[in-house]
Amino acid sequence: MKWEIERSILHGVAVAAMVAVGSSFVPGTAQAWEPTKTVEFIVPAGTGGGADQMARMLQGVIQKNKLMSQPLVVINKSGGAGAEGFLDVKNSKGNPHKIIITLSNLFTTPLATGVPFSWEDMTPVAMLALDEFVLWVNASSDYKTAADYVNAIKAGNDNEFKMGGTGSKQEDQIITAALEQTTGKKLTYIPFKGGGDVAAQLVGNHINSSVNNPIEGVSHYRAGALRPLCVFDSQPMPYKDELVNGESWSSIPTCKQAGLDVEYLMLRGIFMPPGVTDEQVAYYVDVFKKVRETQEWKDFMNKGAFNTTFMTGDEFKSWLAKAAETHKDLMTKAGFLAK
Amino acid sequence: MDAFISLIDGFAVLSDPMNIVYMFVGIILGVLIGVLPGLGGANGVAILLPLTFSMSPTSAIIMLSSIYWGALFGGAITSVLFNIPGEPWSVATTFDGHPMAQQGRAGEALTTAFTGSFIGAFVAVLVLTFLAPIIANFALRFGPAEFFAVYLLTFCSFVGMGRESPFKVLAAMMLGFSLAAVGIDSVTGQLRLTFGSVELLRGFDFLIAVIGLFGIGEILLTMEEGLAFRGKSASINMKIVLETWKKLPKFWLTALRGSLVGCWLGITPGGATPASFMSYGLAKRFSRNGARFGKGEMEGVFAPETAAHAAGTSALLPMLTLGIPGSPTAAVLLGGLLIWGLQPGPLLFVEQKDFVWGLIASIYLGNVAGLIVVLTTVPLFAAILRIPFSIIAPIIIVICAIGAYTVHNALMDISVMLIFGVLGYVFKKLSYPLAPLVLALVLGDMAESSFRQAMLSSQGDLSIFWDNALVGTLVALSMIMLFWPLIALGLNAFRNRPPGRASETL
Amino acid sequence: MTHVTPGSESGNEHTVSTRVMELVVSAGFIAVSILVMWDSRRIGASWASDGPEAGYFPFYIALIMFLSSAVTFVSNIVTRAPDRSNFVQRSQLALVLRVLIPTAVFVVLIGYLGIYLSSALFIAFFMWWLGKYPVYKVIPVAVAVPLITFMMFEIWFLVPLPKGPIEAALGY
């Protein structure tokens, strides 16, 4: 009798196990693959920056809503302006348990430092969002519109105006270089540690302007210390919530409208190592699609006034190819290529 | 008395018992994180950040900031016991803390460190409570030139105090600067001193160097003298706490100076690490016991700990009001705020009153709770030194290896740590001083980049370093500190009769 | 130049004189400084119109290091009273090496076996070889420490540490 019970229990366990194994194959055809161990989420930047925040946000959302069966751990590999992280992914051929979030250094670091990697060395998964850039000046300055500021630069001497930004030969400096090419005057670009520092330097009048992301400037904007002049996008931001005095993100004109023909958006995308299968990529695409549906993510996008374009597959690849071309062009003209 | 009423409201936020639980959990986790080198406050908070998503922002920030307090407290423990600073700001604590432990006064050193931390934090939170609106904008006056002046002052108040050969001091310090320069140049984005190696891209992290030079180096030196840690006789009862407290009041001036230096550097925000070095340097220069610093003076533990904790606490002010983090940990906390939808900035104090005052109230309680937690562990930690060397040494080496690895998740760093260990041993035997090397390594690139930012800003004109009252004062103070030995000599000569010889200052 | 015959002084306790070590270390500093100066020149070490170039500070830092180490080096050669004292006694060196060599082996092993297994081996070896502890005391410590570390880092804090074949076989 006892033997019988034990056998039936064993049998039950076996059935349950088979059901469990079987069920993971059932839903959807694209869902055939699932991670079998902890997935490493590489951040090619230090702790506390924009990419790091987004990665930890994603980690939190995925964990809270149980969107992945295995844990996701964030690992910062910031050495050499992110080169360390990208090289790690590039060299992990065929490893489906590793993903990386990008910022502009995907394009800029290999050009500026000569470290050999490019987006084509990795497998593109999805574009999560694009970071907007806004031209800011101190609210006590005389520049009410982008045109005012551009005219002042044109009328002034070379290096008279100081632009603050984060990092060197990365997104902020590229925009500055584009600004120089449009105005025909040199600007003094001063690199600081982080976006918050840049905004504070602008409030303290140590620099004349910055190209901070919306989220980095918004609190000073609302407190009446900074003034946004224009956004470096093809159309105004869609967010209509009032920020201050009836103004919202959507009321900031594009730089093009203001006579400054510069467009720049920063990629927040996910990549995998080279040599992974289509099913593996499809799994992560699916996870991030689900992330986009969550309220937490929507709130985060709203707070940061992100451009929420989502792309995968070939569409994403052709976007990347174009973006790489633009970066190369801008950086060559600005003389930022590695010696 | 507005602030006082707001503070009472803040304590009301804390009356939710779950918040108190989170606070204690945070403190204990923080102490653990502080004890493990490599897994510093920034990493610890970053790792636990996603776990707090399901809490309310107030509970979450209370727990995360408690981790931060815990890490600040905990950093001192390994510094004192094994000469391994768990956090950059505990390096200065090793200078006298570890010699005290070797003399069998580990309990006394730990109590001094913890009490110092508490006093520093308490002064800083008082400043935060009552002066926040007045001083919040002080940080705005700090441009690159002012930051450089602060780093200069740190160097100048610290150097020129050893008995070693000045040439060796210089060589060691310059080695520190050179190591700090390895990796990407933050101003031009060029690679420096990497020689095409991927491993060198990340540069030499300060913690890895320190774990090697101090931690492994110390084990090798200990080994040379036979198989034992000195200081086995450390007493292990709670009486040591009370006995130490009786001795501390006479160092009130050191504590006050440390707290003020810390608050100032926290608000600027220059950071806790320069604060601890500067406070140690000042204490050594102006204390009656100055000459005995480095051989196990309580004051030498008290000074850096008050400053580090005051700076760590007051760094929250620029973080909350301006969105500029004063330390890597604050940067991660800042990210947390953004994720929870709280926008740090001038309006936070107006729009999120509950949150801000709840946080400030939790600093008061968190530090009291932290002090209680760590003081009760004093006997426990002091007793670790009684474990035989051949058991504890391999465990320390394992922890060092983990610490070196976790800084950058790089295997290579463990080997680098070992090489630094051998260097530390050889340098110590040839009396090359390690402190200037470490100071240069930790502040080198910050000082350089602020200098070059200033130069960019002024287009190469050096007069930026004295063209306003603030930066001018800082630079002048630095010069006074640098030439203090000469000045002191001059003062003495003026007071007494002129001495025979007036050289040999460095 | 300075040729020191081992054992020329205090019998078999002698290893190498402090003076030789001084020379070796300062020569090392000089070598590093030359390397730094060379690389800094490559990326530009002059004062440009907008302040110092990337190599400016490293270059002069290395120059100071070069000069100060040169002083140490030369003064140890020309001194009239060379420090011939023993840098480290042979018995001391043996003790130091007894820690250093196992540690070096441990560091190398981490790359192959992962940190947990190599820690267990290292702690066990150290206790058994240097501490002469009996096996029943060695095993618990050698197993418990990596196990606690594993729990804390991999499970609790979600910090991945280097892992080897054993962990991979267990699904980590």
**Contact criterion met (CB below 8 Å) for B364 and B8:** no
* Residues of B in Cβ contact (< 8 Å) with C106: 397, 401
The interface predicted TM-score (ipTM) is 0.90
Q: At what angle do helices B412-429 and C90-129 cross, to 10 degrees?
A: 140
Instruction: Say if C85 falls within a structural domain.
Output: no
Instruction: Say if B500 falls within a structural domain.
Output: no
* Whole-number average pLDDT of chain B: 86
Q: Which residue of C has its CA nearest to A189?
A: C50
User: In Å, how far are A82, A85, A97, A198, A331 from A45, measured between CA atoms?
Assistant: 6, 8, 20, 17, 21
Question: Are residue C133 and residue C72 in the same domain, yes or no?
Answer: no
C-alpha gyration radius of chain A? 23
More confident residue, A259 or A6: A259
Instruction: Say if C101 falls within a structural domain.
Output: yes
C54 touches chain B (CB under 8 A): yes
Domain span at residue B144 reads 2-495
Instruction: Say if A19 falls within a structural domain.
Output: no
> Could you say which of A193, A224, A251 is where a domain stops?
A251
pLDDT at B418: 96
Instruction: Say if B186 falls within a structural domain.
Output: yes
**Contact criterion met (CB below 8 Å) for A187 and A152:** no
C171 touches chain A (CB under 8 A): yes
B460 touches chain A (CB under 8 A): no
Q: Which residue of C has its CA nearest to A70?
A: C172
pLDDT at B65: 84
> Could you say which of C78, C110, C127 is where a domain stops?
C78
Question: Are residue C66 and residue C100 in the same domain, yes or no?
Answer: no
Residue B37 has pLDDT above 70, yes or no: yes
- Dihedrals φ, ψ of B96, to 5°? -110, -25
Out of B183, B344, B456, closest to residue A219 by CB: B344
Contact A48 B42 (CB under 8 A): yes
Residue A70 has pLDDT above 70, yes or no: yes
Q: How far apart are CA B398 and CA B394, in angstroms?
A: 6
Give per-residue pLDDT as tens, B370-388.
999 999 888 888 888 888 8
Extract the tokens encoding B461. Answer: 């004109």
* Whole-number average pLDDT of chain C: 87
Contact C106 B401 (CB under 8 A): yes
> Could you say which of A251, A274, A307 is where a domain stops?
A251
* Residues of B in Cβ contact (< 8 Å) with C123: 394-395, 398
Q: DSSP letter string over chain C?
A: -----TTSSSGGG---BHHHHHHHHHHHHHHHHHHHHHHHHHH--SEETTEE-TTHHHHHHHHHHHHHHHHHHHHHHH-SS---SBSS-HHHHHHHHHHHHHHHHHHHHHHHHHHHHHHHHHHHHHHHHTS---HHHHHHHHHHHHHHHHIIIIIIS-----B-HHHHHTT-
Q: How far apart are CA A105 and CA A166, in angstroms?
A: 12
pLDDT at A215: 87
Tell me the nearest-neighbour CA distance from C11 into chain B, angstroms.
19
Give per-residue pLDDT as tens, A323-336.
999 999 999 998 89
Question: Are residue C18 and residue C45 in the same domain, yes or no?
Answer: yes
Q: How far apart are CA B124 and CA B121, in angstroms?
A: 5
Domain span at residue C51 reads 11-78
**Does B269 sit behind a cis peptide bond, omega within 30 degrees of 0 on the bond before it?**
yes
Q: Which residues partner with B173 through β-bridges?
A: none
Contact C130 B39 (CB under 8 A): no
Q: What is the mean pLDDT of residues C26-38?
A: 96
Give per-residue pLDDT as tens, B448-494.
989 999 999 988 889 999 989 999 999 999 999 888 878 888 888 88
Instruction: Say if A145 falls within a structural domain.
Output: yes
B379 touches chain A (CB under 8 A): no
pLDDT at B174: 94
Q: What is the mean pLDDT of residues B393-417?
A: 91
Q: At what angle do helices B166-181 and C18-43 cross, to 10 degrees?
A: 40
Which B positions 429-468 lie with beta carbon below 8 A of chain C?
429-430, 432, 448, 451-452, 454-456, 458-460
Chains near B (3 or more Cβ pairs under 8 Å): A, C
Burial of B496 per CB tally in 10 Å (0-12, 13-18, 19+)? exposed
Contact C50 A71 (CB under 8 A): no
Extract the tokens encoding C69. Answer: 């180490």
Q: What is the mean pLDDT of residues B206-221?
A: 90
Q: How far apart are CA B361 and CA B364, in angstroms?
A: 5
Give per-residue pLDDT as tens, C83-114.
888 888 888 898 899 899 999 999 999 999 99
Give per-residue pLDDT as tens, C6-29.
444 444 567 888 999 999 999 999
User: Which pLDDT band, with edges at 50, 70 and 90, does A269 fall under?
Assistant: very high
Report the number of distinct structural domains present in chain A.
Answer: 2
Q: What is the mean pLDDT of residues B128-138?
A: 83
Q: How many CB pairs under 8 A join A and B?
A: 176
Question: Are residue C56 and residue C126 in the same domain, yes or no?
Answer: no
Give per-residue pLDDT as tens, B41-78.
777 788 888 878 778 888 888 888 888 888 888 888 98
Tell me the nearest-neighbour CA distance from B414 into chain C, angstroms.
7
pLDDT at B19: 85
Instruction: Say if B392 falls within a structural domain.
Output: yes
Which B positions 190-209 lie with beta carbon below 8 A of chain C?
190, 192-193, 195
Extract the tokens encoding B79. Answer: 């510094």
Instruction: Say if C35 falls within a structural domain.
Output: yes
The CATH number for A196's domain is 3.40.190.10
C162 touches chain A (CB under 8 A): no
pLDDT at B319: 87
Instruction: Please tell me whether residue B228 adopts helix, strand or coil conformation.
Output: coil
Q: Which residue of C has its CA nearest to B437?
A: C65
Instruction: Say if C4 falls within a structural domain.
Output: no
Contact A36 C171 (CB under 8 A): yes
Report the number of distinct structural domains present in chain B.
Answer: 1
User: Which pLDDT band, with edges at 50, 70 and 90, does B6 fall under?
Assistant: confident
Contact A303 B141 (CB under 8 A): no
Residue B226 has pLDDT above 80, yes or no: no
**Contact criterion met (CB below 8 Å) for B489 and B505:** yes
Tell me the nearest-neighbour CA distance from B456 into chain A, angstroms.
7
pLDDT at B254: 93
Q: How far apart are CA B365 and CA B359, in angstroms?
A: 10
Q: What is the mean pLDDT of residues A117-133?
A: 95
User: In Å, how far are A42, A264, A284, A316 from A127, measured between CA atoms?
Assistant: 16, 15, 12, 7
Q: Which residue of A has its CA nearest to C44?
A: A339
Tell me the nearest-neighbour CA distance from B169 into chain A, angstroms.
29
Question: Are residue C65 and residue C102 in the same domain, yes or no?
Answer: no
Instruction: Please tell me whether residue A76 adopts helix, strand or coil conformation.
Output: strand
Out of C43, C50, C160, closest to residue A38 by CB: C160
User: Which pLDDT band, with edges at 50, 70 and 90, does B355 fall under?
Assistant: confident
pLDDT at B501: 46
Q: Which residue of B has its CA nearest to C86?
A: B429
Instruction: Please tell me whether residue A137 adopts helix, strand or coil conformation.
Output: strand
Nearest partner of B432 among B441, B423, B443, B440, judged by Cα: B423
Nearest partner of C53 among A297, B6, B72, A339, judged by Cα: A339
Instruction: Say if C2 falls within a structural domain.
Output: no
Tell me the nearest-neighbour CA distance from B107 into chain A, angstroms.
35
Extract the tokens encoding B146. Answer: 């002012």
Contact C158 A71 (CB under 8 A): yes
Residues from A in contact with C at Cβ < 8 Å = 36-38, 40, 71, 73, 75, 159, 188, 339
Instruction: Say if C3 falls within a structural domain.
Output: no
DSSP conformation class of A120: G
Which C positions 60-89 lie with beta carbon below 8 A of chain B?
61-62, 64-65, 68-69, 71-72, 87-88
B414 touches chain C (CB under 8 A): yes
User: Which pLDDT band, with edges at 50, 70 and 90, does A16 fall under?
Assistant: very low
Question: Are residue A279 and residue A241 in the same domain, yes or no?
Answer: no
Chains near C (3 or more Cβ pairs under 8 Å): A, B
* Whole-number average pLDDT of chain A: 88
Other Cβ atoms less than 10 A from the Cβ of B310: the count is: 35
Q: Which of C50, C75, C136, C147 has the highest number of chain B CBs within 10 A, making it the mutation to test binding with B?
A: C50
Report the number of distinct structural domains present in chain C.
Answer: 2
Tell me the nearest-neighbour CA distance from B234 into chain C, angstroms.
22
Question: Are residue A121 and residue A143 in the same domain, yes or no?
Answer: no
Instruction: Say if A21 falls within a structural domain.
Output: no
C153 touches chain B (CB under 8 A): yes
Q: How far apart are CA C75 and CA B77, in angstroms?
A: 41
Instruction: Say if C40 falls within a structural domain.
Output: yes
pLDDT at A85: 93
pLDDT at B38: 67
Q: How far apart are CA A268 and CA B8, in angstroms?
A: 43
- Dihedrals φ, ψ of A210, to 5°? -150, 165
Question: Are residue A125 and residue A157 in the same domain, yes or no?
Answer: no
Question: Are residue A127 and residue A274 in the same domain, yes or no?
Answer: yes
B340 touches chain A (CB under 8 A): no
Instruction: Say if A25 falls within a structural domain.
Output: no
Q: What is the mean pLDDT of residues B109-119?
A: 94
Query: Of the ranges A108-122, B12-26, B232-246, which one carries the lowest mean pLDDT score?
Result: B232-246
Question: Are residue A144 and residue A122 in the same domain, yes or no?
Answer: no
Contact A37 C171 (CB under 8 A): yes
Tell me, rounded to whole angstroms, the distance of Cα B505 from its chain centroid. Answer: 28
Question: Are residue A116 and residue A165 in the same domain, yes or no?
Answer: no
Residue C171 has pLDDT above 60, yes or no: yes
User: Which pLDDT band, with edges at 50, 70 and 90, does A179 fall under?
Assistant: very high
pLDDT at B505: 40
Instruction: Say if A308 falls within a structural domain.
Output: yes
Size of chain A in residues? 339
Residue B286 has pLDDT above 50, yes or no: yes
Q: Which residue of A has its CA nearest to C157?
A: A73
Q: What is the residue whose two structure tokens read 């987006």?
A: A119
Q: How far apart are CA B277 and CA B458, in angstroms?
A: 29
pLDDT at A236: 93
Extract the tokens encoding B220. Answer: 């090798």
Question: Are residue A292 and residue A315 in the same domain, yes or no?
Answer: yes
Q: What is the residue whose two structure tokens read 């002069």?
A: C60
Q: How far apart are CA B400 and CA C107, in angstroms?
A: 11
Instruction: Say if C151 falls within a structural domain.
Output: yes
Question: Are residue C41 and residue C69 in the same domain, yes or no?
Answer: yes
Residue A195 has pLDDT above 60, yes or no: yes
Question: Are residue A245 and residue A203 in the same domain, yes or no?
Answer: yes
Instruction: Please tell me whether residue A312 adopts helix, strand or coil conformation.
Output: strand
Domain span at residue A120 reads 39-131+266-334
pLDDT at B51: 78
Instruction: Say if A12 falls within a structural domain.
Output: no
> Cα torsion for B422, B506, B269, B474, to the nearest 10°?
-170
User: In Å, how far are A101, B38, B88 from B42, measured between CA atoms?
Assistant: 20, 10, 11
Tell me the nearest-neighbour CA distance from A188 into chain C, angstroms.
9
Q: How far apart are CA B159 and CA B181, in angstroms?
A: 20
Question: Are residue A106 and residue A185 in the same domain, yes or no?
Answer: no
Contact C68 B168 (CB under 8 A): yes
Question: Are residue A139 and residue A127 in the same domain, yes or no?
Answer: no
Q: What is the mean pLDDT of residues A95-121?
A: 93
How does A313-325 read in b/e, with b if 16+ C-beta sit within 10 Å?
eeebeebbeebbe
Segment C140-145 long-range contacts (CB within 8 Å, at least 24 positions apart): C141/B391, C141/B395, C145/B395, C145/B398, C145/C119, C145/C120
Q: Which residue of B has its CA nearest to C90?
A: B224
Extract the tokens encoding A303. Answer: 């707070």
Give per-residue pLDDT as tens, C122-165.
999 999 998 889 999 999 999 999 999 998 888 887 888 998 88
The CATH number for A322's domain is 3.40.190.150
pLDDT at C10: 43
Question: Are residue A166 and residue A214 in the same domain, yes or no?
Answer: yes
Residue A5 has pLDDT above 90, yes or no: no
Question: Are residue A238 and residue A192 in the same domain, yes or no?
Answer: yes
User: Which pLDDT band, with edges at 50, 70 and 90, does A19 fall under?
Assistant: very low
